[in-house]
């Protein structure tokens, strides 16, 4: 984004730098979003700037779109609009998206494959649905925590007062729950944070191949 150029100048510049650039698509999309073409890019809101940058990328008709922290400067509504555009484009164009982000809640709604990096190491990777299905939180008495932990693969151990919370990994979703304990599903955010804090090896190592994302509707 060149702050001193108008949005229309950005479209013109990008068109002349890319042979496959779809100018009519870019202008139509910007008009639909209510972004004034004559306004300088530096005078747009953060959400509008993100949408202009995304439009410039989408108008190139890419097969793979790489986004590095695209949500960091956006407010909640702008994030929703931005991700809705990504999901719609994936569904319409069959485009794959590699998204790097610290916004874990957003990732849970759109990602079908997850790679977690921490301290320069691979901490976790796999299909999101598989990862959520094979991890859960066991809640039970602290007095029985050590015995329970010896029977399962513990990723994170939290104990407070008389109750213990063990985030565990299992080989299948219907593994039996130890007597006196309750099992609860884990969110992608909770799972990711647990692995970032854990010095252990990656869960269920498999070839780290990024699948083409299958679009799901953004519910919020």
What helix, strand, coil percent values describe the chain, rounded to 5? 40, 25, 40
- Please give the Cα distance from 118 to 122 (Å, whole number): 7
Domains observed in the chain: 7-102 (3.40.50.300), 129-188 (3.30.70)
Q: Which pLDDT value is given to residue 150?
A: 86
| Helix residue ranges, H only, the chain | 7-17, 23-32, 46-58, 76-93, 104-110, 128-133, 145-149, 188-197
Q: What span, in angstroms and rounded, lies between the C-alpha atoms of 177 and 181?
A: 6
Taking only the tens of pLDDT, the chain with its 220 residues reads 899 999 999 999 999 999 889 999 999 999 998 999 999 999 999 889 989 999 999 999 999 999 988 887 788 888 888 888 888 888 888 889 998 887 777 777 788 899 998 888 899 999 999 999 999 999 999 999 998 888 888 999 999 888 999 999 986 656 788 888 999 999 988 999 999 987 655 554 333 333 334 434 333 3
Indicate if the alpha-carbon torsion angle 131, 188, 102, 211 is positive or negative.
positive
pLDDT for position 8: 96
Would you state the pLDDT for residue 201? 52
Q: Which one, of 110, 164, 105, lies nearest residue 139 by Cα?
A: 164
In contact, 102 and 115? CB cutoff 8 Å: no
**Rounded to two decimals, what is the model's pTM?**
0.73
Residue 74: which residues within 8 A CB-CB, separation 6 or more?
Answer: 46, 47, 50, 82
What's residue 87's pLDDT? Answer: 86
How much is the pLDDT for 203?
A: 52
- Cα–Cα distance measured from residue 18 to residue 140, given in angstroms and rounded to the nearest whole number: 60
Cα dihedral 198, 200, 204, 205 sign: positive
Instruction: Please write down the long-range contacts of 126-132, taking CB distance under 8 Å and 24 or more positions apart.
Output: 126/203, 126/204, 126/206, 127/211, 128/188, 130/204, 131/188, 131/191, 131/203, 132/185, 132/186, 132/188, 132/191
pLDDT in tens, 87-117: 888 888 888 999 888 777 777 778 889 999 8
Cα–Cα distances (Å) from 97 to 26, 58, 64, in that order, read: 19, 11, 6
Query: pLDDT at position 39, please?
Result: 95
Query: Whose CA is closest to 56, among 102, 110, 90, 11?
Result: 11
Q: Check if the beta carbon of residue 211 is closer than 8 Å to that of residue 94.
A: no
Quote the CA–CA distance of 127 and 135 in Å, as a whole number: 12
């Amino acid at each position: 984004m060149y702050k001193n150029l108008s949005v229309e100048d950005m479209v013109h510049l990008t068109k002349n730098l890319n042979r496959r650039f779809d100018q009519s698509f870019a202008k139509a999309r910007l008009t639909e979003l209510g972004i004034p073409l004559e306004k300088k890019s530096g005078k747009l809101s953060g959400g509008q700037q993100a949408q202009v940058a995304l439009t410039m990328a989408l108008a190139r008709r890419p097969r793979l779109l790489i986004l590095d922290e695209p949500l960091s400067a956006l407010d909640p509504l702008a994030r929703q609009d931005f991700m809705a555009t990504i999901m719609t484009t994936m569904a319409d164009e069959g485009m794959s998206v590699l998204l790097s982000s610290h916004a874990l809640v957003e990732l849970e709604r759109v990602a079908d494959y997850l790679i977690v990096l921490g301290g320069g190491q691979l901490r976790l990777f796999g299909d999101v649905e598989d990862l959520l299905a094979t991890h859960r939180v066991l809640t039970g008495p602290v007095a029985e925590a050590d015995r329970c932990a010896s029977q399962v693969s513990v990723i994170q151990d939290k104990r407070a007062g008389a109750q213990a919370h063990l985030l565990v990994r299992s080989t299948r979703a219907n593994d039996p729950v130890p007597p006196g304990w309750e099992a609860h599903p884990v969110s992608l955010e909770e799972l990711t944070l647990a692995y970032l804090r854990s010095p252990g090896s990656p869960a269920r190592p498999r070839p780290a191949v990024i699948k083409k994302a299958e679009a799901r509707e953004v519910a919020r």
